[in-house]
Amino acid sequence: MSEETLYTFENETYRKTYWHTCSHIMAQAVKRLWPEVKLAIGPSIDEGWYYDMDAPFPFTPEHLEQIEGEMRKICKEKLKLERFELPRAEALKLMEDKGEPFKVELINDLPEGEVISFYKQGEFTDLCAGPHLDSTGRVKGNALKLTACNAAYWRGDSNRETLQRIYGVAFPKKDELDEYLAKIEEAKKRDHRKLGRKLGLFMLRDEGPGFPFFLPKGMVLKNTLIDYWRQIHKKYGYVEISTPIMLNRQLWERSGHWDHYKNNMYTTVIDDVDFAVKPMNCPGGMLVYASEPHSYKELPLRVGELGLVHRHELSGALHGLFRVRCFTQDDAHVFMTREQMKDVIQETVRLFDEVYSTFGLSYTIELSTMPEDHIGTVDEWERNQDILKDAITGMGKEFVVNEGDGAFYGPKLDFHLADSLGRTWQCGTIQLDSQLPERFELEYTGEDGQKHRPVMIHRVVLGSIERFIGVITEHFAGAFPAWLAPVQVKVLPVTDRAEGYAKEVAAKLEDLGFRCEVDERSEKIGKKIREATLEKVPFMLVVGDRDMENGTVSPRRRSGEDLGAMSLEQFAELLGDEVKSKAIK
């Protein structure tokens, strides 16, 4: 990294250090204003920082404004940040004397012999491993903002104390903060939960928290997405299966999910036997492969499944379609020989490229390596990790390493999609697995006539149909491309006289396979256009007396572009071309 970028936000290490320093400035400001507040933890995160605190009152927006003001004063004071270390006994006494029980607990949980470090700035001292900037004056007080406050369990444990988490963000320049805040405001407008209600796509109810209801227009969107999924997978040589939603405990123990995932599984008892509702499709896919003999000539065998899975998520983690308890996983398992692994991985990436480009989504790749909780030997893991690396670099693509975040059965490539606001979403994944074929004793007959063990990948491209709908709803701000839009055309008669002609136009377009609605209300055409625009319908066909006489329509895009009068055949061809090409407009 060049000297010029070393101390800029282009350098992730500097950016995280800057934000971590801001979290300490915020904690100092809070303690100055309300000394009785108890501090927990305050890390930097992907976009700013947060600090968890135990306060005897709920923080309000007015409190956040007070904290911001005090933070600006601390920045102007240019306090030096000084690191020092203490033996365990002295560290505990320091935090006990300051009345910080959460810090005491953290110190007690540190391994014996580990260095216990603190950072001091003025009168404020905090337990921290660092690093930090050398002075509070390095932070620009006019370019910081506290963005939110919500509840958080201490150490993520719902049985522990409920704390308050204050989020903040800061930048080296005020205009960078303004740009970021404008992006946040735009993101609020695009919130898929609001758009889902407004556009009639889906709903969430207290009667089924985490279990989304899809409404008629939402089902059109969902089914159109599934139709595309099937089309692209057929092109790449996949066959489709469906496996049971519930299977017995013995199967989940054999796959390893019972030991590694049971806290997230819904279970029941049938005829005195434990069963689990599937959180993944994989074990069912193993049984399908094992149900008949296979030859090397069949491999690679590409098997897809749109499987409905259920996972127990904490209620506090649920978030619209992004975090649910029930979703359709666009799963696939590809069984292959070891010699085919690199080619299959690269073929899968090409499929990903085609899908993501269809939606105008770019991506970055993470290689997630062996977690502590894993099955298989270290040698197997390292060999499979090297295969993933070789496959990606062989395509001229770059990746970053995400240490210890692989699946329990194998390393994986995670695809993080960037939307129109530059936000990233982890959707696609390719997981290389030599463990489940071993556990399920899968075989194929090789060219030598002997039995061999296949290897496999688990992969999803959309991740979950429901979550991907949430992503693209925000990406397109609800203005879906014509091929995907629940309603592609809204026919707007100018007068009651044109209503019959409007219905004829809609009927002809529906016969051609397009999705149409007619606005039959006795309202002014201006209001009909405004409301159809708010509904984000790609095309409006304004039809009046002249159109009736000439047999024409007057198309208008939701952007406001007036395309002028044309024959219905011409419009149908224009719309057909956009749908066929999956144009993003």
| Contacts of residue 347, Cβ cutoff 8 Å, sequence gap at least 6 | 236
**385 counts as catalytic:** no
> Exposed, middle or buried by CB within 10 Å (0-12, 13-18, 19+), for 359?
buried
Please report which residue ranges of 512-567 form alpha helices under DSSP H: 525-534, 545-550
Of 41, 40, 53, 49, the C-alpha closest to 18 is 49
Give the Cβ contact number of residue 200 at 10 Å. Answer: 14
Distance from C-alpha of 445 to C-alpha of 367, rounded to nearest angstrom:
32
**412 counts as catalytic:** yes
| Contacts of residue 251, Cβ cutoff 8 Å, sequence gap at least 6 | 283, 287
Which DSSP state fits 245? S
**329 counts as catalytic:** yes
Catalytic residue among 63, 233, 374, 412: 412
Q: State the pairing for strand pair 424-433/444-445.
A: unpaired
Q: State the pairing for strand pair 124-127/116-121.
A: antiparallel
538 and 491 Cβ atoms separated by less than 8 Å: no
Distance from C-alpha of 217 to C-alpha of 189, rounded to nearest angstrom:
20
Give the Cβ contact number of residue 182 at 10 Å. Answer: 10
Q: What share of the chain is helix, strand, coil (3-state, %, to 5)?
A: 40, 25, 35
Catalytic residue among 458, 467, 556, 558: 458
- The per-type count for the chain, helices as H runs and strands as E runs, is 19, 28
Distance from C-alpha of 550 to C-alpha of 430, rounded to nearest angstrom:
56
Q: Please give the structure tokens belonging to residue 393.
A: 């670099």
420 and 414 Cβ atoms separated by less than 8 Å: no
Which DSSP state fits 59? -
β strands within 106-174, DSSP E:
116-121, 124-127, 144-153, 162-170
Which DSSP state fits 80? B
| Amino acid at the residue 246 | M
| Contacts of residue 500, Cβ cutoff 8 Å, sequence gap at least 6 | none
C-alpha 345: how far from chain center: 22
Catalytic residue among 28, 164, 329, 431: 329
7 and 118 Cβ atoms separated by less than 8 Å: no
Distance from C-alpha of 134 to C-alpha of 391, rounded to nearest angstrom:
43
**190 counts as catalytic:** no
**128 counts as catalytic:** no
Catalytic residue among 75, 282, 427, 516: 282
214 SS3 class: strand
| Contacts of residue 300, Cβ cutoff 8 Å, sequence gap at least 6 | 334, 335, 336, 337, 340, 344
> Exposed, middle or buried by CB within 10 Å (0-12, 13-18, 19+), for 308?
middle
| Amino acid at the residue 499 | E
Indicate which residues carry an active-site annotation: 282, 311, 329, 331, 333, 412, 458
